[in-house]
Structure 1
Amino acid sequence: MTIKVVYFARYRELLGTDGEVLVGAFACIEDVRQALLDKGERYAVLAEKNLMCARNQDLCKPDEALEDGDEVAFFPPVTGG
């Protein structure tokens, strides 16, 4: 399975990239996040509790199922005021 991962806001800045492509067996977004965390300390920011995610540009929860070719986005919580 091939998944395109994109990062927004502070995550993009801290990771030094706007995205990457992962190949592997991913049942859900949490599997993608865990695979990234396993890549090393650089990805520790993705361990934040309030991390937000989207699948194919639709907000979702980390347990959202994935299909080959999906785009997964990670971004920090958004606040308004």
Structure 2
Amino acid sequence: MINILLFAHLGEAIGEPSVTWTELPITVGDLKQKITQRYNLPLQSVMVAVNEEYAEDQLELKAGDVVALIPPVSGG
């Protein structure tokens, strides 16, 4: 099982700041695709961090990982 943290509008869109995922093994890229399908969240421009380090789509996730989905932000 992995824990997925949903920042900003992503958490608001599904009504939860985090979700758990039990479908393993899975890569970051596959996880993004499945979340897009399940929750109807477009994640093309979202940055992903695994265990507090930015991760590429090819990284395979393992049980106990914490995945953060971080949308682009703007401000001044």
TM-score of the pair, normalised by structure 1: 0.75
Is structure 2 residue 63 aligned with structure 1 residue 68?
A: yes
Q: Which structure has greater helix proportion?
A: 1
SS in 1 for 2:60: coil
Q: Which aligned segments of 4 or more residues in structure 1 are displaced greater than 4 angstroms?
A: none
Residue 55 of structure 1 corresponds to: 50
Query: Cα gap change, 1:79/1:64 in structure 2, threshold over 3 Å: closer, same or farther?
Result: farther
**Cα offsets for 1:29-66 (capped at 9, x unmatched):** 12222222332xxx222x23211111011122222221
Note the residue ranges of structure 2 that are not aligned, 5 or more in a row. none
Residue 26 of structure 2 corresponds to: 27
**Cα offsets for 1:14-40 (capped at 9, x unmatched):** 12100111111233112222222332x
Query: Cα gap change, 1:34/1:48 in structure 2, threshold over 3 Å: closer, same or farther?
Result: closer
